[in-house]
Amino acid sequence: MTELTIIFPTYNDRDTLKEMLDQLSEQSCPFDIVIVDDCSTDDTISMLEMVKANSILSLEVIQNSSNVGPGPSRNTGVEHCKTKYFSFLDSDDFIKPNYVSCLKKITQNEFDVALFKYDIATDRQNRHTAQMHATDKRCLARFSTQDKHLLTEPENIWAFLPMTAFPWNKVYSKCFYDGIGAAFPARRLQEDILPHWQVLMNAQTVFFDYSMPSLLTHYEISDGIRATNARSFERLEAYEDLKDILVSIQARPKEDQALLINKISSFVAGLDRWVMNNIPASSEVPIPLLQLRLDLLTALGIEP
């Protein structure tokens, strides 16, 4: 029985998506694929029709009626997921040969969300870097000597909150995800912050096995094309999501608030340094966004 769905948002990624599907067709475990095409203008749809006709992959293709961005496209993919667990992939990344078998091994457990290691690369010729973002590496290393892989203590679960808010280094329980109302906002930059915090703040059981190898390579190529590398003041729009997260923390029991506020303060301080350093000097940042930033930093006691 299929217990896993892999969800792709895609836009004009015909070649890399085809490469990814070729890799997935070599995996030996059964799984479903949902691809949400965000009005691609290349021949992505023709390629997908050919793959469906000539492949054993269990593949569902959904076409958006308008270009809405990766967040709403992922939401659509989740709505079409019919399995117990799901994971996201970006169509321009690279999965390791053991990707699906490891995910299937993970889904033999009962959990709300699972995390796994990944590689970061800056060119498509270098796929096995054994490098992660420094903060993520530190967070995961905390569990390097832990034999217990199902974590239920809030202090352990919340230890993952400061990680980069990637959506694709996780496996999600569909029932849990839907139950807490997790969703990506419509904004096109930093849209992954909100569901990252929604999921990890509300999870009761998290799976993580430090001995499991890196399962994919995420490319961060400084070509100015991918949203991952966009240098724009529009990233400040996500501070609205962070304000909402802070409000939800302040509604928690007092014993939870101190630790969670410490986590979000650390997260925002690091994010703010990165965002402000990556706004081009020539940009004229709209006053409402500057005020939004100031309000959030002030609420968290962070010096602007």
Q: Which residue has the tokens 């303060």?
A: 265
**pLDDT at residue number 224:** 45
The values of phi and psi at residue 184, to 5°, are -90, 140
| Per-residue pLDDT of the chain in tens (304 residues, 90 and over written 9) | 579 999 999 999 999 999 999 999 988 778 999 999 999 999 999 999 999 998 889 999 999 999 999 999 999 999 999 999 999 999 989 999 889 999 999 999 999 999 999 999 988 888 889 999 999 999 999 999 988 999 999 999 999 999 999 999 999 999 999 999 999 999 999 999 999 999 999 999 999 999 999 999 999 876 544 555 677 899 999 999 999 999 999 999 999 999 999 999 999 999 999 999 989 988 899 999 999 999 999 999 999 8
Rounded Cα distance, 104 and 3, in Å: 8
Exposed / middle / buried, residue 172 (Cβ in 10 Å: 0-12, 13-18, 19+): buried
Burial of 176-193, coded b for 16+ CB within 10 Å and e otherwise, reads bbeeeebbbbebbbbbbb
Question: From 3.60.20.10, 3.30.365.10, 3.30.360.10, 3.90.550.10, which CATH number describes the 4-229 domain?
Answer: 3.90.550.10
- Supply angle C-alpha 20, 7, 121, rounded to 5: 50
Nearest Cα neighbor of 16 from 226, 281, 235 is 226
Exposed / middle / buried, residue 214 (Cβ in 10 Å: 0-12, 13-18, 19+): buried
Q: Which residue has the tokens 């699972």?
A: 114
> How crowded is residue 87: how many other Cβ atoms within 10 Å of its Cβ?
25
Q: Where are the domains of the chain?
A: 4-229, 233-300
pTM for this prediction: 0.94
In Å, how far are 13, 126, 270 from 93, measured between CA atoms? 10, 12, 25
* Helix, strand or coil, per DSSP, at residue 233: helix
Within 8 A by CB and 6+ apart from 215, the residues are 95, 96, 98, 99, 102, 103, 116, 117, 118, 169
How far from each other are the two terminal CA atoms of the chain, in whole angstroms?
Answer: 52
Rounded Cα distance, 60 and 249, in Å: 37
* Helix, strand or coil, per DSSP, at residue 242: helix
**pLDDT at residue number 227:** 55
